[in-house]
Amino acid sequence: MKSQFLLRSQTLFLPQKQVLKPYYPEAMATTTRDLKIHLSKRQRGLRICLCVSSLVILVAAILILIFTIFKPKDPSVFVNPVDLENFQVLSPNSSGAPLNLVITIQNPNYASFKNRNGSGYLKYGDTIIAEIPLESRLFPARSTTNVSTTANIQTDKLLKDPNFMVAVEGGAFNMTSEAKLSGKVRMAKIIRLKAKVYLSCTISLNISAFQTASTCISKLKL
């Protein structure tokens, strides 16, 4: 009876064997690699988010500047006929009288403007009496540019108008001029936009005193 008790007690208090889990280095390496890939994706996503946010802020800042400080302004234009001493509008031996013009354009904008080759027209009343060639030219930002050109006035059309002879007898006559400059504006070497400048001028010539005066209206459209 006693021996059975001892045997049973020894059986109860025998130390239990530890169960060792198998060690798989490949599995641990795979887990570490997956963790690194996950962290790398998160960092890349964060960088993309920061880049997009920075780009949006930059575009917003540029738009604010364009519509406030850099808001497009109409240029100031002056048309000045020159060399009136040689202007022979009443010459009977010629059907054309060259009129030299200096067109002064003041660009008040922070963007430059470059126009393509074009032309304008000179009118007396409702009759077109000359074409004004306008060559391609760069108008720098916030600058004044003088453009020299020549309008070959068709005197035969003028002499057919009875109102012209009456005006000449008074020593002066008025003409109107219209032109459209098509080109591109460029700002900070980044922004390029198509633009058009519309010009409308009234030119007064006092051929007896060799004096001129002009009034121009200009409009810039993007």
Mean pLDDT of 96-100: 90
For residue 90, pLDDT over 90 is answered with no
Confidence (pLDDT) at 96: 84
Give the tokens for residue 80. Answer: 């000045």
Tokens of 195: 């633009």
Query: Looking at the domain 76-221, which fold is it?
Result: Immunoglobulin-like (2.60.40)
Q: How confident is the model at residue 6 (pLDDT cuts 50, 70, 90)?
A: very low
Return d(Cα 195, Cα 30) in angstroms, integer.
60
The per-residue pLDDT for range 150-194, each reduced to its tens digit, is 999 998 888 888 898 888 888 888 999 999 999 999 987 777 889
Look at 81-95, 137-151, 184-198 and tell me which has the smallest mean pLDDT.
Answer: 81-95
| Residue 9 CB neighbours (<10 A) | 10
Q: Work out the average pLDDT over 75-97.
A: 84
Domain ranges of the chain: 32-69, 76-221
- The whole-number pLDDT of residue 105 equals 95
Is pLDDT larger for residue 47 or for residue 16? 47
Task: Please tell me what DSSP assigns to residue 84.
Answer: G
Angstrom distance (rounded) from CA 105 to CA 108: 10
Q: What percent of the chain has pLDDT over 90?
A: 42
Mean pLDDT for 85-103 is: 83
> What phi and psi, each to the nearest 5 degrees, are found at residue 41?
-65, -40
N- to C-terminal Cα separation, the chain: 114
If you average pLDDT over every residue of the chain, what do you get?
A: 82
Query: Collapsing DSSP states into helix, strand and coil, what is residue 104?
Result: strand
E strand or H helix at 109: none
